[in-house]
């Protein structure tokens, strides 16, 4: 049995916990969060140990792996401590909001000879995988452009205004664009806007890649409550011989009600007879397969996560200065 501890059990931890529950040979033995009520509730549901101090959890529990789900700016400390305690680490994206911190974590994982895997979950999404296969097969010919939109519900902005949206939303598309193009961003030019009382809720960035591909990353927290889904996600890859695109939600299932209509995303994360499936389950299955077989991942490399954070930093800088930013 692989024994796992979770640090940070907020909104997204529910999906992690549900997914881990379905993985054979993996058990959550402890959780930690600063919020004592949340600790009590997860502890009760999972029958595991609970801590309000993750350092104590690492000292008292014999864990094989730790999942870090703290807010974007608070990943480094628990990641470093978990590696130091001899654990493999799965950390949600972004690895950090600071590329120097990413470098420190990658060096520490190398020194400890432990896995450091970052949750760039879209690499496990069925539609993104089909896009990658189409690109790699040569069916689209030479790539010219990639467009990624990831607009999310405005009701979440009060929580996630804590960091620039590129670290929560755009980071997925930056990573996907590196992965799909097989190239890296060399220059960005970006603009953002936000409400009068502070924060950035909308951002557009134009990217230039080393192989000549150009990209646009569009992110916002402006999808209104009345929209048919909480997310408006699109991606389009254009090549000289073909184009591939998807959008979410699609029209697979539309529910028309008296007050509003809903389009439920069908392909991912929806429970079926009490079980969840989709990208996150596949991603975590891959992590524990690497842990069990003591092997490095060939899908999620921490160096790729660092590359995405470097681009995100350049986007933030470009928004601040109004100028293009070159990456070295």
Q: Which is nearer to ligand NAD, 88 or 120 (CB)?
A: 120
Choose one: 5-13, 144-152, 264-272, 309-317; the region binding ligand NAD (CB under 6 A). 5-13
Radius of gyration of the chain (CA): 20
- CA neighbours closer than 13 Å in the CB half-sphere of residue 160: 22
Residues between 145 and 174 with contacts to ligand NAD, criterion CB under 6 A: 168
What phi, psi does 144 have (nearest 5°)? Answer: -115, -45
Q: How many CB atoms lie within 10 A of CB 172?
A: 25
Our finding on whether 71 is near ligand NAD (CB under 6 A) is yes
- Could you say which of 46, 54, 204, 221 contacts ligand NAD (CB under 6 A)? 54
Q: Identify whether the C-beta of residue 213 lies closer than 8 Å to the C-beta of residue 146.
A: yes
Our finding on whether 35 is near ligand NAD (CB under 6 A) is yes
- CA neighbours closer than 13 Å in the CB half-sphere of residue 148: 25
Q: DSSP letter at 275?
A: B
Our finding on whether 93 is near ligand NAD (CB under 6 A) is yes
Our finding on whether 11 is near ligand NAD (CB under 6 A) is yes
Residues 6+ apart with CB under 8 A from 179: 123, 132, 304
Q: Residue count at the site for ligand NAD (CB under 6 A)?
A: 23
- Could you say which of 9, 66, 116, 180 contacts ligand NAD (CB under 6 A)? 9
The span from the CA of 67 to the CA of 290, in Å, is 14
The span from the CA of 153 to the CA of 40, in Å, is 29
Q: Which is nearer to ligand NAD, 93 or 178 (CB)?
A: 93
Provide, rounded to whole angstroms, the least separation between the CB of residue 294 and ligand NAD.
Answer: 25
Q: Which is nearer to ligand NAD, 7 or 237 (CB)?
A: 7
- Could you say which of 64, 76, 92, 248 contacts ligand NAD (CB under 6 A)? 92
Q: DSSP letter at 214?
A: E
Q: Identify whether the C-beta of residue 174 lies closer than 8 Å to the C-beta of residue 184.
A: no
Residues between 95 and 134 with contacts to ligand NAD, criterion CB under 6 A: 119, 121
Our finding on whether 199 is near ligand NAD (CB under 6 A) is no
Reduce the DSSP state of residue 147 to 3 states and report it.
strand
Choose one: 65-73, 125-133, 191-199, 291-299; the region binding ligand NAD (CB under 6 A). 65-73
Can you give the binding site for ligand NAD, defined by CB under 6 A? 7-13, 32-35, 38, 54, 69-72, 74, 92-93, 119, 121, 168
């Amino acid at each position: 049995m692989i024994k796992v501890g979770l640090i940070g059990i907020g909104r997204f931890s529910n999906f992690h916990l549900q997914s881990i529950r379905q993985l054979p040979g993996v058990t959550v033995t402890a959780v930690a969060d600063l919020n004592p009520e949340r600790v009590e509730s997860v502890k009760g549901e999972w029958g595991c140990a609970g801590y309000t101090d993750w350092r104590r959890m690492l000292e008292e529990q014999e864990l094989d792996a730790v999942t870090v789900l703290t807010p974007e700016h608070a990943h480094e400390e628990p990641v470093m401590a978990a590696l130091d305690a001899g654990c493999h680490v799965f950390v949600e994206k972004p690895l950090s909001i600071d590329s120097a911190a990413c470098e420190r974590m990658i060096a520490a994982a190398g020194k400890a000879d432990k896995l450091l895997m970052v949750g760039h979950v879209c690499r496990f999404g069925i539609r993104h995988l089909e896009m990658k296969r189409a690109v790699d097969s040569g069916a689209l010919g030479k790539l010219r452009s990639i467009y990624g939109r990831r607009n999310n519900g405005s009701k979440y902005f009060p929580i996630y205004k804590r960091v620039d949206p590129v670290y929560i939303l755009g980071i997925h598309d930056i990573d996907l664009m590196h992965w799909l193009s097989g190239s890296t961003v060399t220059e960005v030019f970006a603009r953002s806007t936000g409400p009068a009382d502070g924060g950035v809720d909308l951002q557009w960035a134009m990217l230039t890649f080393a192989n000549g591909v150009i990209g646009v990353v569009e992110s916002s927290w402006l999808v209104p409550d009345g929209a048919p889904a909480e997310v408006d996600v699109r991606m389009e890859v254009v090549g000289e011989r073909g184009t591939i695109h998807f959008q979410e939600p699609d029209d697979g299932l539309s529910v028309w009600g008296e007050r509003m209509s809903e389009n439920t995303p069908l392909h991912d994360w929806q429970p079926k007879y009490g079980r969840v499936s989709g990208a996150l389950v596949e991603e975590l299955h891959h992590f524990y397969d690497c842990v069990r077989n003591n092997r490095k991942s060939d899908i999620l490399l921490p160096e790729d996560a660092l590359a995405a954070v470097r681009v995100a930093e350049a986007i933030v800088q470009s928004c601040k200065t109004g100028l293009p930013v070159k990456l070295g």
